[in-house]
Structure 1
């Protein structure tokens, strides 16, 4: 049996199915909402809702296809030089990704291979072979979880911000809006935890994040900080739609900082620029370790600015729009921002002081297989490190 830290379990396989249904549900509710806005002649809301869906789909298809091509040309993954990867030719991959089915293709391949290894395997594996099979499953799951992370911050997070702005700022409420926001919120939570756990399991030199309390504390830290930040941005947009310019500036700052760090995640220059732009979006809403370096100072600066925004947004709305000071929604949202910020920061400190798994100091070598670096393992090593 493989070591427990790289064992792809039946529960993990079933959770992959749950993640697929959640992904479909999130996109379906957003498309339905865009159609409803269009029928009501709210063309701006309809267009923005649909744009977020399309941007998330487009970017994930680009990265998914590129990673398939990288793996196809990798001499270790494809030693025989076959014109296929996972049984898919280049032409078939192009068609699948043009129709937006890249993530669904990866879900299918992961579930299919996982089913053979976990549920149906009658092959007598050696310990090393079985470990390799489970590790490969986690590499596939990590690729998928990274794409889901991109989709979450390009679609679910902006969608949640947009729908909150429409509901709170324009009083336009419907069951479908609340359903869309609920799916977006759960999708954010799922993507954060799934990405962190998959990434740490696919990197042999990094310890697994324990389930239970550490995972719960990390999830609460991320959810509280991201939610309070989204609510702060919502209040700023209610104060003035031109606050979107300020959000654009924050995105540019995040993108510029990522560029200054000289990330080397992608195999081509133009794709690296796209990657840095996506990271800029992510940094607009939450902190991640962009290059796997010591980021204690950067994290402190980031969350000082985060606290400043979360304090300033409600105060600006109270001073510049005093008629809202007694509004129920303003009091409730302000309470959620202040409370969520405080609780989120407490969980952040608690997690990193007491629960954060420390890295193993094991050095990679050819004997234990860590030195056999493929495109997939190089890619995973350069993924965003959770922060």
Structure 2
């Protein structure tokens, strides 16, 4: 009987892996890669244009801040890319398979290192993904490598967005508020940053969806709702920070450093396990602290409903303090046209974002149970799929021809699975779950 149950469980786990874990590279993936490059170049071009405008007009302080954000973002992204390159070289058979040399310059480590020092590693990855995607179409080979790299790009875009696009958006709104006027270049920069944030949200969620078992696959509607609630939460957050900066510009840096330190310690307390080295893990935690300054981000397995509630409560109180500070220190004459509107619209927009987030988790987020070892199985009609972290991350157990991106699979496990306590009482199985 026990052997029969083990065989059924093994067959179910294998079916989950085959149907949900190893996604195929499609024309949609190729389209996302091309649009991702265009978005990256548009954002980079708008940054250069804005920096040039600041410099030519003699606004050297704002010019320095913008260039500093660009350099910081680029350095952080290059560091992640370099760490991942080193990790991937240790994977059995990664560099030896057909197509790997075109992706990561084979074993020419010095060339790839030089590209990262010149801040070209991220762009090189974009180009490599497009080239590999074309190989999949033209020669029908290397599909696993193309999927592997698109998942890495989605995470790098996420990091680049919160390191550069979100702070740059605050800077542009701040400049508009301080000068009480807006030029074309500023509108272009705001549009580019907003587009970058929006594209990152959709692309990142799409990468997470690719790790779901077929039974729990989400439709495009889920990405739309995910995009909307993220944008409705990030937008007011950025606006409140810009408003606070417009009245007390000298306090925004201490505010960021204080909250970032709190978030960094919180990430450390959650025992994150994303990178393959101690230095890389601390880089990840520092980046998570930066992301949390703008938006919620799952970093650990287990019950996330409580952590999400703590985060949103903390950020809401912080935003209220910043908003009230702006209200009392603002210039009533200069802000008469929009002050009351912002005081009403921003909280309502944030509340709408929270409601859409609740709607997403109630109606669109799949129910994935992670049963404890030896726990009784749930009724078949309860979960959309029964998974374990192993189902998401089988890098060390799969052949080299079936590469699974361990990093993104780890994030997918954090996002889609929570600790589920499975128990039986009075002859029936029950589940205590959290979906956030």
Decide: shared fold, TM above 0.5.
yes
Unpaired runs of 5+ residues, structure 1, are: 124-132
Tell me how far 1:45 sits from its aligned partner.
Answer: 0.2
Structure 1 314/13 Cα, relative in aligned 2: closer, same or farther at 3 Å? same
Aligned to 1:121: 139
Structure 1 23/369 Cα, relative in aligned 2: closer, same or farther at 3 Å? closer
With structure 1 as the length reference, what TM-score do the two structures score?
Answer: 0.87
Tell me how far 1:142 sits from its aligned partner.
Answer: 0.9
Contact 1:165 1:237 in 2 (8 A): yes
With structure 2 as the length reference, what TM-score do the two structures score?
Answer: 0.78
Aligned to 1:283: 292
Aligned to 1:342: 351
Structure 1 31/207 Cα, relative in aligned 2: closer, same or farther at 3 Å? farther
Tell me how far 1:103 sits from its aligned partner.
Answer: 1.6
Counterparts of 2:225 and 2:351, CA distance in 1:
14
Structure 1 326/70 Cα, relative in aligned 2: closer, same or farther at 3 Å? closer
Tell me how far 1:292 sits from its aligned partner.
Answer: 3.1
After superposing the two structures, state which structure 1 stretch, 270-279 or 6-15, moved more: 6-15
Give the 3-state SS of the residue equivalent to 1:289 in structure 2. coil
Aligned to 2:60: 43
Unpaired runs of 5+ residues, structure 2, are: 1-17, 369-384, 416-435
Tell me how far 1:122 sits from its aligned partner.
Answer: 5.4
Deviations along 1:8-28, one digit per CA (max 9) or x if unpaired, are 221221221111111111111
Deviations along 1:225-277, one digit per CA (max 9) or x if unpaired, are 00011111112212311331122211111111111122222222222222111
Aligned to 1:101: 120
Give the 3-state SS of the residue equivalent to 2:338 in structure 1. helix
Contact 1:203 1:381 in 2 (8 A): no
1:217 to 225, 243, 247: 225
Counterparts of 2:112 and 2:95, CA distance in 1:
16
1:56 to 63, 73, 95: 73
Contact 1:153 1:281 in 2 (8 A): yes
Counterparts of 2:223 and 2:407, CA distance in 1:
24
Structure 1 215/246 Cα, relative in aligned 2: closer, same or farther at 3 Å? same
Deviations along 1:107-137, one digit per CA (max 9) or x if unpaired, are 12211221222x32357xxxxxxxxx54543
Counterparts of 2:29 and 2:140, CA distance in 1:
20
Counterparts of 2:159 and 2:399, CA distance in 1:
24
Aligned to 2:408: 380
What is the correspondence of 1:137-148 to structure 2 with a 5 Å cutoff?
137-148=146-157
Counterparts of 2:89 and 2:396, CA distance in 1:
20
Aligned Cα root-mean-square deviation (Å): 2.9
Counterparts of 1:108 and 1:45, CA distance in 2:
32
Counterparts of 1:77 and 1:68, CA distance in 2:
11
What is the correspondence of 1:164-243 to structure 2 with a 5 Å cutoff?
164-202=173-211, 207-211=216-220, 213-243=221-251
Tell me how far 1:208 sits from its aligned partner.
Answer: 3.9
After superposing the two structures, state which structure 1 stretch, 50-59 or 69-78, moved more: 69-78
Counterparts of 1:320 and 1:166, CA distance in 2:
17
Aligned to 2:111: 92
Aligned to 1:328: 337
Aligned to 1:273: 282
2:397 to 351, 363, 371: 371
Counterparts of 2:251 and 2:217, CA distance in 1:
40
1:263 aligns with 2:272: yes
Aligned to 2:50: 33
Tell me how far 1:78 sits from its aligned partner.
Answer: 4.0
